[in-house]
Structure 1
Amino acid sequence: MTNTTSDALNNLEDRFQKLVTRKKTQQLQSNALVTLPQWPNGMRGTPNACLRSALFAGVQGNERIAYKKRTLLAAVDGIEVRYLGVQLNQSDLDVWMQIVHLSRQQLPGFCVTFSAYALLASLGRSSGKSQHEWLKESMARLGGAFVEITFQGRHTFGEKGFLRYYRDENTQRYVVELTESMLRLFEEGYTHIEFEQRQQLRKQPLALWLHGFLSSHAAPYPMKVATIHRLSGSSAKTLRDFKYRLRKALDALVSIGSIESYVIGDEAVKLQKRPSPTQQRFLNGNSH
């Protein structure tokens, strides 16, 4: 790479950093989110709105659909999610969770820098050309999506994109700024996701969605099969087909110790799981 090209790339990165620093100063002068919550290195903090809805669907990449208008997605009571863009799935959530994890010790508005190789390795992926292209596609989906989330009908967060980024095409190094509206979702409640368990569920999108959803509940309640089908954004055309996928996904959760047992009835699913220490304190009526 010539010195002229190198200087141009450095200037572009400097400009990106200056824009972010200017925004950071403006945010600190307003009622901005001060910092992200902290969590252990083996966990991934994730807003409940991302786990209790079809925003990051439990579907394979080849099953994605494009929402061509502001579409209301399935979500639990109290949350409304509207979305415009190419459907996000659990692999996109992996990317966003990892970037948030890298950013958790920085003030919102600052950039986080990483190499594509390091991010792929952290997600247990190889570093071949196809995986680099997969990461570029995921970053584009996360950057281009328009998300609008309303809580209890009281206030709405709307933002184009979960992140903004600069990429050096020679080094494949990323400089990423996470959008503040999406980070503010943490203020409405978040969950610690056990990263090692999640890694064991790779390429099992419905199991991944269930893992996140169930992690966000201290004591799972019986749920209708049709409700899980709707909330997960599943592409299964019939409930019979979905029940088959659901059984395989729940078997996977039992095998990694995420849940202890389950029973799928004619209409409802009943689960047994051991709450985490934090969730147990919640169940005992203590704050965490």
Structure 2
Amino acid sequence: MWSRIQERAARELSRPRQMFLPGLEPTMRAMPNHIARSSLFAPLSKTHQRRFLNDHILISRRDVVIRFRGIQLDESQADVWMQLMHIASTSPLGEPFDVRSASILEAMGRQIGGAEYRWLRRAVEALYTATLIIDVVNKYRIGDGDSDGDGIRMIDRFRYDASRKQYTFVIDPRWVAMYGNQEFARIDWEKRLAIKRGQDMAKTLQRLVATSADKVQRYGLDLLKEKLQYTSPLRKFRSALCAALTELERVEVIAAAHIGTSTRGSEQAVWTKL
């Protein structure tokens, strides 16, 4: 009985569906909370050797297990995905839509040119090969044992027309479940574009800040270091974190940021969400 119920639910999720994002202004972008809280996208340096991860469990909350297969993803690829999902939300997910390369780059505040077109193609390919299995306790399970196979891709399908410099994308309609019940982070796009180059950690933290309605937010440094996939010593992470928090204060995402001590005696980052 339960297997039949799951199968029917999976079939329903796989049909083309409109994604409603209530309260989302044109200057905002949306990312499912469970994705924004996880270690899927990280502030990886340009010199960082990207690893291919297979059945890798992402850092996330205890009520969700996200398994990942693909090349490590960075914040620039998070920008591409948010912009594509923003465009895709205007029509039912599961149906193809066209978008010119230049319009994607312009929306991200990037230059238009051959090098940027090639960069965008690499980002799209990385998102296409990125596959997730998502299990949210007592809510839903996507990508494992359902009628659509063993994973959900960040980009389900794409085609590139080089003569027109235009992509045709298809986004898996199962993503609608991840945005349901307004469980998505509202990312201020203008403030994100205002973050200085080289401050990808600030971009990661901006997404994390947006996942919670709490005004005062606290995160242990050990957890942040692991979530942000920072491999250098803690003292270097602390310095980089302080710089990122200062940048988020500058663009008015947070205020009163500081490193403090929790009631258990461990270091934590504390800030006020604006």
Query: How far apart are 1:123 and its partner, in Å?
Result: 0.5
Question: Using the alignment, how far apart are the partners of 2:259 and 2:30 within structure 1?
Answer: 29
- Alpha carbons of 1:228 and 1:68: their partners in 2 closer, same or farther (altered >3 Å)? closer
Q: What is aligned with 2:258?
A: 263
Given the alignment of the two structures, is residue 67 of structure 1 paired with residue 60 of structure 2, yes or no?
no
1:47 aligns with 2:41: no
AA paired with 1:206?
A: M
Q: Within the alignment, does 1:246 sit opposite 2:241 as a pair?
A: yes
Shift of residue 114, structure 1, vs aligned partner? 1.0
Match of 1:36 in 2: 19
Report the residue type matching 1:230 in the other structure.
E
Q: Does 1:237 align with 2:224?
A: no
**CA contact 1:74–1:233 (8 Å) conserved in 2:** no
Cα deviation, residue 33, structure 1: 6.3
**Regions of 4+ moved over 6 Å:** none
Residue 189 (structure 2) aligned to one of 191, 195, 199: 195
Please identify which structure carries the higher helix content. Answer: 1
Pairwise mapping of residues 1-288 of structure 1 onto structure 2 (< 5 A)? 30-31=12-13, 32=15, 34-38=17-21, 39-152=24-137, 155-158=140-143, 159-163=151-155, 164-187=157-180, 189-201=183-195, 202-219=197-214, 220-234=216-230, 236-265=231-260, 267-274=267-274
The alignment-based identity, stated in percent, is 22
- Change in Cα spacing, 1:187 to 1:230, as seen in structure 2 (3 Å) is same
CA-to-aligned-CA distance 1:152-207 (integer Å, 9 cap, x gap) = 26532223521111100112111111122334311261121110011112442110
Structure whose alpha-carbon radius of gyration is higher: 1
| Offset of residue 257 of structure 1 | 0.6
* TM-score calculated relative to the size of structure 1: 0.80
By how many angstroms is 1:273 displaced? 2.1
* CA contact 2:217–2:272 (8 Å) conserved in 1: no
Counterpart position of 2:146? none
C-alpha spacing 1:173/1:81, structure 2 compared with 1 (3 Å): same
Structure 2 CA distance for partners of 1:88 and 1:253, relative to 1, 3 Å: same
Q: CA, structure 1 residues 217+64, in 2 after alignment: closer, same or farther (shift >3 Å)?
A: farther
Contact residue 33 and residue 184 of structure 1 kept, 8 A: no
Contact 2:29-2:189 at 8 Å conserved across structures: yes
Are 2:70 and 2:130, in contact at CA under 8 Å, matched by a contact in 1? yes
Go from structure 1 to structure 2 and tell me whether the alpha carbon gap of 1:195 and 1:132 turns closer, same or farther (over 3 Å shift): same
Whether the 8 Å contact between 2:16 and 2:94 is mirrored in structure 1 is: no
Distance 1:111 1:203 in 2: 34
Q: Which amino acid aligns with 1:37?
A: F
Q: Distance in 2 between matches of 1:58 and 1:79?
A: 22
Distance in 1, matches of 2:225 and 2:12, equals 41
Which amino acid is 1:198 matched to? R
Partner of 1:4: none
Contact 2:142 2:152 in 1 (8 A): no
Shift of 1:232: 2.1
What's the Cα RMSD here?
Answer: 2.0
- Whichever residue aligns with residue 177 of structure 2, its letter is R
Where does the alignment leave 5 or more consecutive residues of structure 1 unmatched?
A: 1-26, 275-288
- 2:34 aligns to what SS in structure 1? helix
Residues 69/30 of structure 1: CA separation in 2 closer, same or farther (3 Å cut): closer
In the aligned structure 2, how far is the partner of 1:59 from the partner of 1:250?
A: 17
What is the TM-score with the length of structure 2 in the denominator?
Answer: 0.84
